Structure 1
């Protein structure tokens, strides 16, 4: 039943102890905490070693810098728990979070993934809480669409059965790696569940990929979502109308990618009736995806000039 908590570490000397201490003070001992020092050049490697010397639950690996995905993959390979969860080393988890989550998994051994609440952009003016009902999904498409999982594909705030990773790893050299990986884990899952128990605190990082993504990096995110959309479109029983909200999110990413890169659109059009279209989908039907992207690029250019 042991839980493996995997924490990649890179240049986080200011927040590392705060992160690790939030795990070690849970009052839950059936776990190992694996710190993957990904070639840090600040005091992070020394802090990892100092913490490991004090706490027997900690394991430390020092490796050359390979990126977040490679660090997580190292942790997965070394993990010995029946379950895995991930943390970013500048985040924390709330008090008394892990015990009730693991008790829930013990009560429901059929759960492959358990998702719990997250406080987004903690201690910033953008702070908000994302919470969930107590619910189990036996259809991963329903989970993806009904819970709008596509808006929170985060690797953290979820506990996974370790077996899900038998043929899945995070893609090295790719950004927005969570959006690429979670659909593959869902393909290996039979039951995904949500719970209102616990809290993950995600601290806003103005230098993070969400805030600084380039057009080419957003293109990688777009590609992941288009692959998932194509998979869902082929599922029996799921109509274009049911995919509408998800599709509109992807369309917004497509518009941004076209504006930032000039790349030809890769998003196929959604086969939906005129009367069911939002304004943006209505314009897409008239101008096509490429024309819609050009239209929004022009609108944005005019808005910038007016300011």
Structure 2
């Protein structure tokens, strides 16, 4: 029997200076067909009207909890929400995105029917053009064989490199989150703090289910913008330092997942290299080389393509030469080509 005092799903929404998009996001959540939800709004020190909008919605809907706090970054906002979440499951929605009104109901039903700790579904990317909104399907998995079955990393370690490292469009069982004290990395001003959270969840979950339906509308208006701030270029490195500490506390996991972890790290570093401003690429390549040189002999080559191994060796041997050869443009083209082959309707997925 359902305890009506316990929400079925806690929806955690970190918010920072997105007043232009916030109402669309909140409307999509408060109108969920699953009514037994709580909505946790983390106003992370916004300097625009986000705080007022949050309070306005909370005054109209008793399911909404608002936390106003000093800006501390995405990771701290996630953790603030997880700390107070009372739901059987939790989900996360970015405040410039929005969701289908039946997302919580359908994912909750799926999680219960499959008895899963983690349920993840596809995305719908969108961009606002001058006269219309453009949509495209974004698969959560790069391997079709992962869909519509219960799995975990013991059964299939390659999930790490064959699924998109996003926490949105997912349900996570809260007793699982609390059992392992799963937390996001907290670094003020940093980006990509969902990488560490996502990796912990997939590593520790005993039951994961990937659903091919898309419920989450993911804003991509700035998807191709370079990272122009020098402070941001090493944020992915911070996430992997965070995961190194996680592995130090979980040595059995480290032993079992090390091979795919190195491949995952290479793919994320390559993705970061593509996104950062050109004037920082050489600097990041030296960091890339410095981190992979000590572990190169430990890498399991079967998880890498020939071109990936060639690029990695090029970076390790001579970052400056790798830069002059513009190899990162080949990385970008290679990624697009692979995704196009798997999903002809999707381009430039990462």
- State the TM-score, normalized to the length of structure 2: 0.71
Give how far 1:162 is off.
0.8
- Structure 2: gaps (5+ residues): 1-6, 142-146, 275-279, 330-350
**Aligned partner of 2:282 among 239, 242, 259:** 259
Count of residue pairs brought into register by the alignment: 292
Q: 1:88 to 1:52 in 2, by over 3 A?
A: same
Contact kept? 1:97, 1:197, Cα under 8 Å: no
Q: 1:283 to 1:123 in 2, by over 3 A?
A: closer
Contact kept? 1:73, 1:169, Cα under 8 Å: yes
Q: CA RMSD in A?
A: 3.6
Contact kept? 1:119, 1:201, Cα under 8 Å: yes
1:182 counterpart residue number = 198
2:99 counterpart residue number = 93
Q: SS of 1:170's equivalent?
A: coil
1:117 counterpart residue number = 122
The answer on 1:75 being equivalent to 2:77 is: no
- Structure 1: gaps (5+ residues): none
Q: Deviations over 1:11-50 (max 9, x none)?
A: 1211111101111222110110111111112111111111
Q: 1:252 to 1:198 in 2, by over 3 A?
A: closer
The answer on 1:134 being equivalent to 2:148 is: yes
Q: 1:247 to 1:231 in 2, by over 3 A?
A: farther
- State the TM-score, normalized to the length of structure 1: 0.79
The answer on 1:193 being equivalent to 2:209 is: yes
Q: 1:79 to 1:255 in 2, by over 3 A?
A: closer
Q: 1:160 to 1:49 in 2, by over 3 A?
A: same
> Which runs of structure 2 are paired with 1:36-51 in the superposition (5 Å)?
36-51=42-57
**Aligned partner of 2:320 among 271, 294, 297:** 294
Query: Could you tell me how far apart the structure 2 residues matched to 1:179 and 1:141 are?
Result: 22
1:3 counterpart residue number = 9
Q: SS of 2:186's equivalent?
A: coil
Q: SS of 2:199's equivalent?
A: helix
Contact kept? 1:2, 1:82, Cα under 8 Å: yes
2:306 counterpart residue number = 278
